Amino acid sequence: MTDPMLPLPGLSPVCGKAVVAKFDGGLLSSDGGVLVLREVEQRLRVADRLAACMVDPRAPDLITHTLADIIRFRLLMIGAGYEDGNDASSLRSDPMFKMALDLSPSDRELCSQSTISRLENLPDARALLRMGRAMVDLYCESFHKVPKRIVLDIDDTFDAVHGGQQLRLFNAHYDEYGFQPIVVFDGAGRFVTAVLRPAKRPGGKEIRAFLRRLLWAIRANWPNTEILLRADSHYCCPEVLDWCRAKGLDYILGVAPTPTLRRHIESLEAAAKARFEAAPKDGKVRRFKEFLDGAKSWSRVERIIARVEAGADGPDTRFIVTNLKGRNPRVLYEDVYCRRGQAENHIKSSHGEVCVKGEIQSCMSQTPLAVSVSEV
pTM of structure: 0.80
**Cα–Cα distance, 208 to 238 (Å, whole number):** 10
Cβ atoms of 193 and 135 within 8 Å: the answer is yes
CB atoms within 10 A of CB 119: 24
- For the segment 114-147, what is each residue's pLDDT rounded down to a tens digit? 999 999 889 998 998 899 999 999 999 999 999 9
Kindly report the backbone phi and psi dihedral angles of residue 75, in degrees, each rounded to the nearest multiple of 5, phi listed first: -60, -45
Query: By percentage, how much of the chain surpasses pLDDT 90?
Result: 59
Which helix (DSSP H) or strand (DSSP E) does residue 358 occupy? helix 356-363
Q: How many angstroms separate the Cα of 8 from the Cα of each of 2, 170, 290?
A: 15, 53, 79
User: CA-to-CA distance for 8 and 20, rounded, in angstroms?
Assistant: 7
pLDDT of residue 242: 95
Looking only at the bridges linking them, the beta strands covering 176-179 and 182-186 are unpaired
Among the listed residues 293, 261, 288, 260, the one whose alpha carbon sits nearest the alpha carbon of residue 272? 288
Residue ranges in the chain modelled with pLDDT below 50: 1, 352-376
Q: For residue 253, how many other CB atoms are within 10 A of its CB? A: 25
Minimal CA–CA distance to 361: which of 245, 217, 197, 227? 197
What is the tens place of the pLDDT at every residue in 171-187? 888 889 999 999 999 99
The closest alpha carbon to 376, from 135, 163, 45, belongs to 135
Burial class for 305, CB neighbours closer than 10 Å (0-12, 13-18, 19+): buried
Residue-level pLDDT at 366: 37
Element (H, E) at 315: strand 314-322
Say what the pLDDT of residue 157 is.
Answer: 87
